[in-house]
Amino acid sequence: MTDQPRVQANLRLRAADGTPLATDVYLPATDTPVPAVVTRTCYGRGAHLAEGLGWARHGFAYVVQDVRGRYDSGGTWCPYRGERSDGAATAGWITGQPWSDGRLVPLGGSYAAYTAYALTLSTPDSVAALVSQVPAMGPHRVKFDPGGVLRLAEHANWWLEHAEASTSRPGLLARHPDVLDRLPVSGLAEHFWPRLPGWWPAVRPWTVPGEPPPPEAVTDAELAAVAVPTLHVGGWHDLLVTETLHHWRTIPGATLRIGPWGHDLAPLGGVLVDWIRAALTGQVRPDVVGLLGEDGWRTDPVWPEPVEWLSGGVRRFTHDPLRPFPSTVAGADRRALDARDDAARYRGPALARPLVLLGSPRVRLDAHTSAAGTDWIAKLVHRRADGGAVELASGMVVAGPGRGEHTVELSPAGVRLPAGSALELHVTSADFPNLARNLGTGEDRYTGTAVAVAEQTVHSVAVELPILEDA
């Protein structure tokens, strides 16, 4: 049928050094040049077939490409290296095609959000708009908590499934039960099934505070200089929600779409089509926020500053790095952890009316450890009326020996809490395996193997909440 999209599959574009980059092109049924939406992915371009047909049916060209060294593209993949050059080569090829009107819209999620930025920064004159979804911007940002500690489970899972290979290995971490319990952290690759010598070198430089970012990292100055419309899509349950909000706040005139999702977003095809069409015609779309626990969407909401909500006094617990307080999956019921005695817990009163939070809570902590060093982990928890408990936000600080005062910035939260429920603060000294453990000996947490049990005293806490409305 003449109105069906045209597909040019399995093309080979040439990078600047001649490396073939496997590319598929989806074209609308028209002879008029059109804008091109561009995705460069490390996860296999074949997964974007339905998406490509959808873009073409809406009047856009869609170009999807395997990055260098992945799936059908030539060369060797070095994550976060060479994407600017290969993106520029791809952009140059597209704008030279007869079906292209010269306007590019880089679009991608996770690693492909980074490649969208790389293309935009390398060929700014060709880019008309940009869509970034749950952006994974480099090992120095993705693999480390804002408190500076390695996100152990995330790095192990991603490297085992995707790195040092041309194709992915889904579910491989599950085949390594208890491997993350081993010490030292730097030697974990010795216990992986596949040979992965790059696992530790990929993150080692940023285990030292103050190390500069990798050579092709996107800087805040580059973000602030982006001069085209940008859409930033994220989810409250996504590990990288802080990154999404940082980009939105840093790029002038950026638009936000955030909702009750994790790293795997809900289908947003219609939203993206509408936003890109508006962006290409100079229209401004509002920020749209969907809260956990609330139906519908809020348009251009105010983001309030935190105010003090809850305070508490002395609590004591014993922390054993060989029996670390466990992590939970985002959105999961954590009431089973109530039985553990290695946490300080503070509970506010039952809410007389609904409470809406939008932004980053803050915890002020006065605490003492008997160890040579420790971590203070703070989690804001929603205690439901039925007794269930769900983590809303978390943060951590690394502390030296003895007593100290600390300010813990928690991850962003957007939630409506019903009347009858309550808020709690849980303070622990581990969030394992999400974060690599502090061994308590003063040794480096990544190369050490000895541990020390610590007696922990929380002298006082104050919780500050970004309250959007409380009625």
Tell me the per-residue pLDDT of 229-246, one tens digit each, with 9 for 90 and over. Answer: 999 999 999 999 999 999
Find out whether 158 and 199 touch, Cβ atoms under 8 Å.
Answer: no
* Domain-located, residue 172: yes
- What pLDDT is attached to residue 1? 37
Position 82 scores a pLDDT of: 97
Tokens of 32: 């008029």
User: Which pLDDT does position 194 carry in this prediction?
Assistant: 92
Residue 403 has pLDDT above 70, yes or no: yes
Are residue 167 and residue 133 in the same domain, yes or no? no
pTM: 0.96
400: containing domain: 307-469
Q: Are residues 369 and 402 in the same domain?
A: yes
Q: Indicate the residue among 207, 225, 259 that finishes a domain.
A: 207
- Tell which of 181, 207, 233 closes a domain: 207
Which of 91, 119, 107 is closest to 39 using CA atoms?
Answer: 107
Q: Which residues pair with 160 in a beta bridge?
A: none
Query: Tens digit of pLDDT for each residue in 168-212?
Result: 999 888 888 899 999 999 999 999 999 999 999 999 999 998 899
State mean pLDDT over 1-7: 78
Q: Which pLDDT belongs to residue 156?
A: 95
Q: Are residues 97 and 52 in the same domain?
A: yes
- Determine the Cα–Cα distance for residues 422 and 355; give it in Å rounded to an integer: 10
**Mind listing the pLDDT tens digit for each residue in 291-346?**
999 999 999 999 999 999 999 999 999 999 999 999 999 899 999 999 999 999 99
Our count of domains for the chain comes to 3
Q: Provide the CATH number for the domain around residue 463.
A: 2.60.120.260
**Do 28 and 146 lie in a common domain?**
no
Percent of the chain with pLDDT over 90: 95
Give the C-alpha separation, 204 to 190, whole Å. 16
The token duo for 360 is 């980053």
Query: Can the peptide bond before residue 197 be classed as cis, meaning omega within 30 degrees of 0?
Result: no
Element (H, E) at 10: strand 6-14
Do both 87 and 111 map to the same domain? yes
β partners of residue 150: 144
Give the 3-state secondary structure of 283-346.
CCCCCEECCECCCCCEECCCCCCCEEEEEECCEEEEECCCCCCECCCCCCECHHHHHCCCCEEE
Task: Supply the pLDDT for residue 84.
Answer: 98
The dihedral through the CA atoms of 150, 154, 181, 190 has a sign that is negative
Q: 462 and 387 share a domain?
A: yes
Provide mean pLDDT across the span 387-399. 98
HSE-CB at 150 with a 13 A cutoff on CA atoms is: 26
pLDDT mean across residues, the chain: 96
